[in-house]
Structure 1
Amino acid sequence: MKNKTPRRSCGHVFHTDPAMFVLVTYKPKPGVPNYVQVLCYPTPPGDAMLTFLSPFDAWIEAIYSSKPGKLYRVIDATTFDPSELIANSSDQLNAGLHMGWAACDGKLLAKKNGELVGYMMLQTLKVAPFDAEDIVFTLSAENRKSVDLFHEKAGLFAYAETLESSMKWDDQRLDQEVSLAMQNVPATCEASAPDINQIAVYDLEGKQWHFVALADLIDKTPA
């Protein structure tokens, strides 16, 4: 019988590169009072765990996804154990990587309840049984390039520095920044509107929304 890879000294099963955040809600079970359920979205390969590079964006999603009796909170992805999710997806971890917010002609797409519609990139990781105690999820080079290109087209050249700074904010600061961002939303349209043609991102420094055309996110750099 093969020995399982021991957990790291941190005691966490899951590790990400770069840092990522997920949304969880408590779903106590008999004998497991601290059981949590992670927010997922259906995709062709199976349910995908929604992940964020920005705690600010994750906070926005948590506010809109929460409802009485089902409150979501933002946690560092490394503090979540995705083993059950992987087991239910044929030993594969599906992740919906949040890039920005879906938009159409300068308007953010919103559902009837006001919830904004996120724009995701899908990435999957096959997890072998002997890796189940030490799962490492690394953002692919292709998705890293997409994230960088998106913020470049949005004119947010200091995105990395701003992101690093926002990771140090406490809940009160995050709540204040999200409230301000929601007040500054230029306009919204129903999620059933015509095709999405833009992705929006909020500039934490300039306190304004930026819209990037999907057509501009096609990398035209020669291979």
Structure 2
Amino acid sequence: MSVYISLFDAHIDAAFLSKPGEQYHAIPACEFDPREMIWSNDGNLHYFLHCGWGASDGRLIIRRKGNLVSLCGMDTVKVSPEGSTAIDLNIDSKDLAHYNRMRDSAGLYAHEECHSRVMALGERERMQHVARAIDSMPGMVPVGCDINQMAMYDFDAAQWHFVPIDVLYANTDGKEP
């Protein structure tokens, strides 16, 4: 299961994952019923916290099936059978610090306020912004390229930002990895 702090990123991903006859939609976590997924994984809920998009030299990396490469953190929550209807996903503070540092490094200091503005849009207007983001991509390269940047879309400025990947892997306590 993919988890997005940015609703806008979730919509970009859904646009790339959708195929004729197979549409993907971003939904709030509170509307998702994970019981079948948990049951299929022996009581474990595996999830990926999306942080941004893989990029190489200012171009986004695209997988063979056409979707973008997501850079994310992984975690697993063990869920008891009686607790499978209400699950708290507590994002690790270290993962959240990495996410915030990447946004700040791109100059996206007001990303929390931006997320609120995206959520306030109607579906039609939101999808127009998603189309604009896709149209404004500076280029794409196939998977297999060296991932040396993380790409993030600036909703307010309607432009892509690229941050060196080393920023993502740096420790949050200020020490080098």
Q: TM-score, normalised by structure 1?
A: 0.73
Q: Tell me the equivalent position of 2:166.
A: 215
Normalized per residue, which structure has more helix? 2
Normalized per residue, which structure has more strand? 1
- For residues 106-125 of structure 1, the aligned pairs below 5 Å read 106-112=58-64, 114-125=66-77
Which one-letter code corresponds to 1:104 in the other structure?
S
> Which protein has greater RCO, CA pairs closer than 8 Å, 6+ apart?
2
- For residues 43-82 of structure 1, the aligned pairs below 5 Å read 49-82=1-34
- Give yes or no for the alignment of 1:102 onto 2:66: no
Identity %: 34
Q: Tell me the equivalent position of 2:147.
A: 196
Unaligned residue ranges in structure 1 (runs of 5+): 1-48
- Show CA shifts across 1:107-142 (max 9, x none): 110134543221121121111223223211111111
**Structure 1 residue 95: deviation in Å?**
0.5
* Distance across 1 between alignment mates of 2:4 and 2:75: 13
* Distance across 2 between alignment mates of 1:154 and 1:59: 20
* Distance across 2 between alignment mates of 1:127 and 1:112: 34
Q: TM-score, normalised by structure 2?
A: 0.91
Which one-letter code corresponds to 1:201 in the other structure?
M
* Distance across 2 between alignment mates of 1:161 and 1:203: 12
RMSD: 1.5
* Distance across 2 between alignment mates of 1:85 and 1:114: 25
- Show CA shifts across 1:25-63 (max 9, x none): xxxxxxxxxxxxxxxxxxxxxxxx112112211111111
Q: Judge conservation of contact 2:151–2:163 (CA < 8 Å) in 1.
A: yes
- Show CA shifts across 1:139-179 (max 9, x none): 11111111111111111011111111111111111111111
For these two proteins, the number of residue pairs brought into alignment is 173
- Give yes or no for the alignment of 1:206 onto 2:157: yes
Q: Structure 1 stretches (4+) deviating beyond 3 angstroms?
A: none
- Give yes or no for the alignment of 1:145 onto 2:102: no
Q: Judge conservation of contact 2:47–2:75 (CA < 8 Å) in 1.
A: yes
Larger radius of gyration: 1
Q: Judge conservation of contact 2:150–2:165 (CA < 8 Å) in 1.
A: yes
* SS class of match (1:138): coil
